[in-house]
Amino acid sequence: MSLPQQLRDESDFDQLPDNIPVTATIADIEEKKGFIVYYRFVIEVKTKGNSKYLIYRRYRQFFTLHQSLELKYSAEAQPGYYTCQLPTLPGKVFMGNKKEIAESRIPELNNYMKRLLCLPTWVLLDDLIRMFFYQTELDSQQVPRALRRLRPPTRKVKTVKPKADLLSAPRAEAVFDFSGSGRLELSLKAGDVIFLLRRVNADWLEGTVRDKTGIFPESFVNIIKPLPESDSDEEGGASKSGNRAQSSYSCLRCYLLQPEGIDIRDICVEEDLSIQPSYKDLLSQMRGVFQVEDIALNYRDPEGDLIRILDDEDIAFMVQESKQTGSKVKRPVNQFPWELLVTHAKDLTVYNTEY
């Protein structure tokens, strides 16, 4: 690949376009409750043209970027080609508290990004780097919660909070006890008053009770004062303006098939509908949801036969197949186009073995 002569020297920094990132600093970390609980880094990016914006990246995205850059620019991978000395990325950590791991990575990742953005100008023009630091539409919709690492130290000032008008707030009363099955779900006691935040889908609401926020099934409560129409839009889920994007949920319908009947659950996670979860994460999630260890994951093919999932390749095939057939089935817009059918691992009678 031929590069313009004027961009091969670092002294020609002025030749770079204004939207090239020149500095990047981690402002905070955020916990996300997807198919697994993970932390992502909130990064403030400054460009050559002095604009600033925030992007949100997981460690795995740093790792993927670094692997791709090594294949392209390391002397070992491309002898005789344009090469450079890449900065060192902190390695994967498989054991320990996830929040502590994310916190400990901040100085190392800040140093990694600083050294990365000091590479020769022709490297900065690479699409791999530009896309990593590019603010996507999803990035722009996020609302940062604290940005504690960018916040200057200030004296604590005592403030008086105005009393909320609780009687005018959308709310519901729990009619039955409900035991939440995950971190996203609220546990309710009959008689609890839940202050409503928004509708997740046709069957689930998000609300607050006893200083805890989460989701719960509408069938367990009696609506005292409904949500405004804009927050009750079943098709939208999140606010149309996108200012709730950081708390939007996607729902997965899953079934436990057993001789005594079918147990149906809707699992809501903070994940984009386009995500392809790993087999390991889904298996762990289903074991927790149904409280059964010895299980197998399955999906139905277009002919209606049950197909057992064994690895990540099977997950990829299921997701791809759902894109081709999903348009034939009407679902809420925030529901995954694929569904999981969970069986006992040793039960082979659920499969069509006739030929």
Q: Dihedral (C-alpha) 252, 253, 257, 262: value to the nearest 10 degrees?
A: 150
Contact 68, 218 (CB under 8 A): no
Please tell me whether residues 46 and 138 are part of one structural domain: yes
Please tell me whether residues 257 and 330 are part of one structural domain: yes
In one-letter notation, the amino acid at residue 127 is D
Question: Domain containing 50: what range?
Answer: 14-148
More confident call, 195 vs 77: 195
In DSSP terms, 344 is beta-bridged to 295
Q: How far is CA 316 from CA 95, 312, 321, in A?
A: 27, 6, 9
Please tell me whether residues 186 and 128 are part of one structural domain: no
- Percent of the residues in the chain that have a pLDDT greater than 90, as a whole number: 25
More confident call, 268 vs 150: 268
In one-letter notation, the amino acid at residue 215 is I
Please tell me whether residues 215 and 272 are part of one structural domain: no
The CA distance from 314 to 81, in Å, is: 38
Q: Would 160 be classed as within a structural domain?
A: no
Q: Would 4 be classed as within a structural domain?
A: no
pLDDT recorded at residue 150: 52
Q: Would 287 be classed as within a structural domain?
A: yes
More confident call, 326 vs 240: 326
pLDDT recorded at residue 255: 93
5: pLDDT strictly greater than 50: no
More confident call, 333 vs 58: 58
266: pLDDT strictly greater than 60: yes
Q: Would 300 be classed as within a structural domain?
A: yes
Q: Would 238 be classed as within a structural domain?
A: no
108-134 pLDDT, tens digit each: 999 999 999 988 888 888 899 999 999
pLDDT recorded at residue 11: 53
Please tell me whether residues 87 and 133 are part of one structural domain: yes
Contact 198, 227 (CB under 8 A): yes
Confidence of residue 160 (pLDDT cuts 50, 70, 90): very low
pLDDT recorded at residue 1: 37
Q: Dihedral (C-alpha) 242, 243, 246, 250: value to the nearest 10 degrees?
A: -40
In one-letter notation, the amino acid at residue 251 is C
Query: What value does the mean pLDDT of the chain take?
Result: 80
- Give the count of domains, the chain: 3
Q: Would 217 be classed as within a structural domain?
A: yes
pLDDT recorded at residue 354: 55
Q: How far is CA 345 from CA 4, 34, 107, 146, 191, in A?
A: 59, 25, 45, 45, 40
Q: What DSSP state is assigned to residue 199?
A: E
Query: How many helices (DSSP H) and strands (DSSP E) are in the chain?
Result: 7, 13
Residue with tokens 């690479």: 126
More confident call, 95 vs 207: 207
107: pLDDT strictly greater than 70: yes
Q: What DSSP state is assigned to residue 230?
A: G
Residue with tokens 């995205």: 61
CATH number at residue 332: 3.10.20.90
Q: Would 325 be classed as within a structural domain?
A: yes
Q: Would 8 be classed as within a structural domain?
A: no
299: pLDDT strictly greater than 80: yes
CATH number at residue 124: 3.30.1520.10
Q: Three-class SS of residue 344? A: strand
The CA distance from 128 to 116, in Å, is: 12
The CA distance from 137 to 235, in Å, is: 20
Domain final residue pick, 114, 148, 182: 148
pLDDT recorded at residue 248: 62
Please tell me whether residues 218 and 303 are part of one structural domain: no
Q: Three-class SS of residue 181? A: coil
Region of poorest pLDDT, from 9-23, 151-165, 184-198, 270-284: 151-165
Please tell me whether residues 113 and 221 are part of one structural domain: no
The CA distance from 52 to 224, in Å, is: 44
231: pLDDT strictly greater than 50: yes
The CA distance from 28 to 144, in Å, is: 9
